[in-house]
Amino acid sequence: MSTDEEPRRPDSAGADPTAAAEPTAPESSRPPPVEPDGEPGPPVEPDGEPGLPVEPDGPTERADAADEGERPARKAGSIRYQDETTVPREPTLAERRARELATRRAEEEELAREEADARKSKTRKRVMIGGGVAVGVAALVAIGYAVSQPDDTAARCVDDSNVVVDDNNCVQPAASSAGYNNGGYYHGGGLYPIFIGGGGRQYHYSYGGSGNLGQVATGGTTVPPRTGTATTPSGRVVAGGSSGASSDGKAGSSSVKRGGFGVGGDSSSGGSSSGGRSSGG
């Protein structure tokens, strides 16, 4: 009822003194984008200088990104995936001991801890990365989801020149060695199992596509199909078809519980949800 309830239009400078005092926000409107003032909040950022929090050269440069002056020679990180084929690693001795200890006094132990190790984010200079828009892993992952996956995908054993070879060459997985685990082989942004044949030659599976023995395989991918099975010319099923192998199928530690997030307690093979763009906004 009271008239001060009616500032329907922002600019009507209402009668309420508190509201009218500063009709338009502290920093009246434009610039100061990030808080350089040492507020208690997270802005991890702001390179303290009051001067120019925003880059001077505008938002729009991209490939031709300018200030790559001090582009640090940064080593590329790695990309690994885990799925139903991942095997628990051997627990360390310390872990085994700790587990035993914990189980023994599990009941009485009260949840107590909390060392608020106030990890203050450091103010850092912005580093502009020039250049390339890479699309690697995301596109590889997408292939697995691409519509109308056949129930069964042809799997071909190929050598490192992608020539189709007898699938007996793809039987013995490479010993887990240097760098990448599980005999994985990092190539072009993806990780997939490789097999070592006679003379140390390397082989892997190519899923889908086409190609006969001795020909170069075309149109295939190193990513196993997400649904259905993959079968070699000799009839061996090399992917899929063994659902439920996840988490509980392997000799994992009994103290590890899974499925506490997500829908239906299902694991990587995917539960059923309404689908669609589920986490968008």
Partner 1 sequence: MRRETSPVRPDWKQRIAEQGMCFDTPGRGPGGQTRPYWDESVHYVFEMDEVLALEADVELLHSMCLKAVDHVVTTERFRDFALPEWAWPAVAESWRRSDPHLYGRFDLRYDGSGPAKLLEYNADTPTTLLEASILQWHWLKDTHDGDDQWNSLHEKLVARWAEIAEALPGSELHFTWSGGDTSGEDHVTTAYLQETAAEAGLDTVGLAIEDLGWDVSLDRFVDLAEAPIAALMKLYPWEWVLTDEFGKHAVRSLPETLWIEPLWKSVLSNKALLAVLWEMYPGHPNLLPAFLDQPGILTEYVRKPRLGREGANISIVSPGSEVQTGGVYGEEGFVYQLFDPLPEFDGFRPALGAWIVGDESAGLGIRETTGLVTDDGAAFVPHRIPEG
Q: Is 83 in the site for partner 1 (CB under 8 A)?
A: yes
> Helix, strand or coil for residue 207?
strand
Q: How far apart are CA 243 and CA 226, in angstroms?
A: 11
Nearer to partner 1, 134 or 175 (CB): 134
> Taking the complex as a whole, how short is the minimal distance between the CB of residue 53 and partner 1, in angstroms?
8
The footprint of partner 1 on residues 5-44 (CB under 8 A) is: 5-8, 10-11, 19, 23-27, 29-35, 39-44
Nearer to partner 1, 146 or 237 (CB): 146
CA 230 to each of CA 107, 164, 271: distance values in angstroms, whole numbers, following the listed order: 47, 16, 21
Q: Which stretch binds partner 1 (CB under 8 A): 124-132, 194-202, 205-213, 233-241?
A: 124-132
Q: Which stretch binds partner 1 (CB under 8 A): 131-139, 161-169, 170-178, 210-218?
A: 131-139
Please report where in the chains the tokens 């996840």 appear, as a residue.
Answer: 246
Q: Is 153 in the site for partner 1 (CB under 8 A)?
A: no
Structure tokens at 238: 């090399």
Among 38, 48, 91, 241, binds partner 1 (CB under 8 A): 91
Tell me the Ramachandran region of residue 255: left when phi exceeds 0, alpha when psi lies from -120 to 50, beta otherwise.
Answer: alpha
250 backbone dihedrals φ, ψ, rounded to 5°: -110, 165
Size of residue set near partner 1 by CB under 8 A = 120
Please report where in the chains the tokens 């005092």 appear, as a residue.
Answer: 21
Under DSSP, the state recorded for 107 is T
Q: Which stretch binds partner 1 (CB under 8 A): 127-135, 167-175, 201-209, 231-239?
A: 127-135
The footprint of partner 1 on residues 173-192 (CB under 8 A) is: 189
The footprint of partner 1 on residues 240-259 (CB under 8 A) is: 246-247, 252-253, 255-259
172 backbone dihedrals φ, ψ, rounded to 5°: -95, 105
Burial (Cβ within 10 Å: 0-12, 13-18, ≥19) of residue 37: exposed
Q: Which stretch binds partner 1 (CB under 8 A): 151-159, 168-176, 232-240, 260-268?
A: 260-268
